[in-house]
Amino acid sequence: MRPKGVWISRLESRFFRHESATGRDLGVLAAALYKKSKARLRILDGLCGCGIRSLRYLVEAEADFVLANDANDDCRDVICRNLSKVPRGSDDEPRWTVTHTDANRVMTECYLQREFFDLIDIDSFGSDSSFLRPAITALRFDGLLYLTSTDGYSSGGHRPHHSLAAYGAYVRPLPYSNEIGLRMLIGGAVREASVLGLRVVPLFSYYSYHGPVFRVMLRVNRGKLSDNSFVSYCHQCGNSQTFSWDELGQISCSCGNSKSIVISGPLWTGPLHDASYLTEMLNLAKEWGWASGDTETALEKLLKQMVDESDPRLPFGYIKLDEVASRAKVNSPPLRTMMDAIQKPDMLVNLLQEGYAVSRSHIISNAIKTNCPMAECIRIAKELQPRAYAEVL
C-alpha cells in the first residue's frame, strides 16, 4: 500500500492544480516501473512549479536523484520546503537539488557535462516544442520523456501555421481534434529525435479536458521509426484515411468527392499506447492500492480503456456517436449497444460474419475507436434504431 500525493504544503496552492493529479499519477507509475527494471532512476523535472511532482518522484517512485528546476525563483522557498521532507543527502550523493534557470539551458548544460537522466518531465504551459531537442539530448538511451502541451487551438486546426512552426505539422479542423493533439505532440518528438538518429515510441498518451492538457510518455532509443504520415478526413462521407509521403499525389476518397477532403500532417499515426506497459502500470497501481476506492477507480478505468485502445487493429482517430446519428438521421444509439453491434455484426441482418475491432475512447465519453468504416457505422445505427425504440416501449 502506497499513499498518493504526500505532504503537500499549503503554501504551494497557487502553483498546484488538483485537476492534473491523474497525469502526475501516471508519471509516478512509469517512473517506478523504470526504477524497478533498471535499478536506478535520475529525474529532471524541468518546470517543477511548487515541487510536489518532484517530491512524489522521490517518495513514491523512489528516485535516486531529482533535479527540480523552475525559472521562477519566487518558488524557491516552497519548493525547498516541500522537498525538505526527504533528506537531501550528502554533497557527493545528493537526493535532490533545486535550480532556477531556463529549462533549455539546464538540459543543455547537463548534456554538455554528460550528466544524463533516465526520465525528463516537461510539464509546460502552451506548446513545449522548444524543449524537445534539449530534452532528448539530455536523456539516457532507453530513457523516458514525459511531454505536455496545452495548445488546444493548434490541435483543433485553428492555428495551422503555428502547429507547422512548432511541431512540423499543418493541422486542419477535424472531428477528432483532441487525439490529433496527442499525435501532433508525438510527431514533433519523432521529428526532433530522427534528426539525432533516434527513434521515439509512445508508452501511453493521455488527454484531459481541463486546459486542455495533452501528455505523452515516450521511450527514446537509437534507430529511426517512420510512423509519421498524413491523415485525411472527408466532410462528405465522414471517411478517414492515412497517406504516406509517397502517396501525397494520390489522395482520394471512395465517395468520389475529393473537394470535401482536408489533409493534416505529418502526424504520428502509430499506436498511442503500449498495451503490455500499461498492464504493468495497472498491476502496480493495484499493488499500491491506487486502483480501489472512489477516486482511484477513475485511474483503473482510464488504464483499462488505454489498454483497449492499444488494439493494433484500431486506426487513428475516433468516431463520435453524435456524428454517426447526424449522418444516419436517427437518434444517437447507446454506446454499449453500438459497440456490441460492431463487434458482432451477425446480430443484425446482412452484416459480415466477422466483427470489427472497437473500443471506447478515453478522450471523449460518447465516442468509439473502430476499424468499422463510417458508412457501415451509419448503416448499423439505422438498423439499431427500431430495436432501441422497441426497448424504450
**Cβ neighbours, 10 Å, residue 107:** 26
Q: Are 365 and 320 in contact (CB under 8 A)?
A: no
Q: Which residues contact 276 (CB under 8 A, 6 or more apart)?
A: none
How many secondary structure helices (H) and strands (E) does the chain include? Answer: 13, 13
367: closest CA among 304, 318, 315, 328?
Answer: 318
For the chain, what is the radius of gyration of the CA atoms? 22
C-alpha span between 202 and 376 (Å, rounded): 30
Provide mean pLDDT across the span 67-86. 93
How far does Cα 352 stand from its chain's mean position?
A: 34
pLDDT at 349 (0 to 100): 46
Burial 181-216 (b: 16+ CB within 10 A, else e): bbbbbbbbbbbbbbeeebbbbbbbbbbbeebbbbbb
CATH number of 10-157+175-224+272-309: 3.40.50.150
Residue type, 339: M
Per the CB < 8 A criterion, the answer to whether 286 and 188 are in contact is: no
Per-residue model confidence (pLDDT) at position 20: 80
- Sort strands 261-268 and 240-243 into parallel, antiparallel or unpaired: unpaired
Return the CATH number of the domain spanning residue range 319-392.
3.30.56
Give residue-wise pLDDT tens across range 349-377.
454 456 799 999 999 999 999 999 999 99
pLDDT tens track for 173-220: 999 999 999 999 999 999 999 999 999 999 999 999 988 999 999 999
Query: Where do the domains of the chain lie?
Result: 10-157+175-224+272-309, 319-392
> Out of 69-83, 323-337, 360-374, 378-392, which region has the weakest mean confidence (pLDDT)?
378-392
**The pLDDT value given to residue 373:** 95
